Amino acid sequence: MKDLYSRHRAVLPDWLALYYDEPLELTHGEGRHVWDAAGRRYLDFFGGILTTMTAHALPDVTKAVAEQAGRIIHSSTLYLNRPMVDLAERVAALSGIPDARVFFTTSGTEANDAALLLATAHRGSNQILAMRNSYHGRSFSAVGITGNQSWSPTSLSPLQTLYVHGGVRGRGPYAALSDAEFIEACVADLRDMLGQTRGVAALIAEPIQGVGGFTSPPDGLYAAFRDVLAEHGILWIADEVQTGWGRTGDHFWGWQAHAASGPPDLLTFAKGIGNGMSIGGVVGRAEIMNSLDANSISTFGGSPVTMAAGLANLTYLLEHDLQGNARRVGGLLIERLRAISAHLPVVREVRGRGLMIGLELVKPGTDEANPQAAAAVLEAAREGGLLVGKGGGHNTSVLRIAPPLSLTVAEAEEGAAILEQALQDV
């Protein structure tokens, strides 16, 4: 392991982050568990950053990948591609967007990049509204709209970005307000901002901020924003890279918690749909999706192999009602974690929806972020046989929990017990 770590450090850039003081090599997985190179088994509560959505080594997906790879692996979008059309039809129907068109990419970063290209070209403007504490990827354009300093290595950008308040409910100048007052204040902030600019192309927003620490506004905020945006002809892009496909339990898409004004103009997706295969994409109204007036293709987006995986994975998710499982098991897990944390002053808040849960850690007796505690709990949980993630806009002090959506009640209890011990140790 130390030899592999040395080789990693010698050939890969320093900014490529690794978890743990002694980094972990995962060699194989099954169901909700993974194994390291030493043969130790771990309960996986992070799913490759919310990407292993259904289960590790899901037979339906591995079979579909093998069968498609045995026929043809690659063709590009210059040729008709049956698996791509099949999956596009399913995604368009599930999106809730009327007369939808779908463009496949290889990642969530590239999906957001494509959505920004479409929105700015359609509107003839490079001005973008983004949420404070947000994260949308690591490309040049996506970094330019990221409102989380920890993940924004440069201020240079092809876009002019204006940041709106509302993605974080429990901190900031509006935290003490009621939900209705919070929404009213954020809408007033948006109106004030739009009164000082012109020609904004779009607002891009995660319904629940992922890297930001699983924070979210009250239900209805983005519906209220949408009403204001519509007055100005501004598009709404919902970044569903982490919230899509039923992970939140209550809804198939995160935007549906704000559904009063209907679906977004553009919706981006990735991560879970491929269950580990590299699929991303953007789906939107035909008027916007068809608005590019130059040639464009994708070499790897819509690969027959990844599309076959996506189709098999989506079919499994729907047939086994994994959204319902996320709601039921996630609800139990959230309540269990809240009970655990009630007498632990290091835990400021347990928040989330479905199987998308965040524990914000602070220095006891204060509201000050505690990244040292988050790092220590991450290590202690690993020692106990549990893998979790971390994030947050306040110095990476939030534990992120996002297991595969097939998690059982017994596994939820097992993970909660390990996490309880880790928190008590810290």
User: How much is the pLDDT for 156?
Assistant: 73
Q: What Cα–Cα distance (Å) separates residue 131 from each residue in 128, 293, 403?
A: 10, 29, 26
Q: What Cα–Cα distance (Å) separates residue 284 from each residue in 90, 104, 107, 175, 420?
A: 14, 12, 17, 33, 43
CA angle 207, 212, 215 (to 5 degrees): 50
Count of Cβ atoms closer than 10 Å to residue 150 Cβ: 16
What's the CATH number for 62-319?
Answer: 3.40.640.10
Provide the residue type at 128 as one letter. I
Sign of CA dihedral 9, 12, 13, 18: negative
Burial of 16 from C-beta contacts in 10 A (0-12 / 13-18 / 19+): exposed
Residues 36/27, Cβ–Cβ less than 8 Å: yes
Q: What does residue 63 show for φ and ψ, rounded to 5 degrees?
A: -65, -45
Cβ-proximal residues to 351 (8 Å cutoff; 6+ apart), any chain: 170, 214, 215, 216, 357, 358, 360
C-alpha to C-alpha distance for 393 and 414, rounded to whole angstroms = 29
Q: For residue 392, what are its two tokens? A: 């947050």
Residues 274/111, Cβ–Cβ less than 8 Å: no
Determine the 3-state secondary structure of 187 from DSSP.
helix
Tens-digit pLDDT profile for the chain (426 aa)? 679 999 999 999 999 989 999 999 999 999 999 999 999 999 999 999 999 999 999 999 999 999 999 999 999 999 999 999 999 999 999 999 999 999 999 999 999 999 999 999 999 999 999 999 998 988 888 888 887 777 777 777 889 899 999 999 999 999 999 999 999 999 999 999 999 898 999 999 999 999 999 999 999 999 999 999 999 999 999 999 999 999 999 999 999 999 877 899 999 999 999 999 999 999 999 999 999 998 899 999 999 999 999 999 999 999 999 999 999 999 999 999 999 999 999 999 999 999 999 999 999 999 999 999 999 999 999 999 999 999 987 678 999 999 999 999 999 999 999 999 999 998
Considering the segment(s) 2-57+321-425 as one domain, its CATH architecture is: Alpha-Beta Complex (3.90)
Determine the 3-state secondary structure of 386 from DSSP.
strand
Residues 54/316, Cβ–Cβ less than 8 Å: yes
Q: What does residue 103 show for φ and ψ, rounded to 5 degrees?
A: -125, 125
CA 40 to chain centre: 28
Angle, in degrees to the nearest 10, between helices 409-425 and 371-383: 130
User: How much is the pLDDT for 360?
Assistant: 97
C-alpha to C-alpha distance for 333 and 249, rounded to whole angstroms = 12
Q: Where are the domains of the chain?
A: 2-57+321-425, 62-319
C-alpha to C-alpha distance for 185 and 218, rounded to whole angstroms = 12
Q: For residue 241, what are its two tokens? A: 């890279």
Place of tokens 């890969």: 12
User: How much is the pLDDT for 153?
Assistant: 78
User: How much is the pLDDT for 1?
Assistant: 67
Strand partners, 281: 104, 269
C-alpha to C-alpha distance for 214 and 243, rounded to whole angstroms = 10
Strand partners, 401: 357
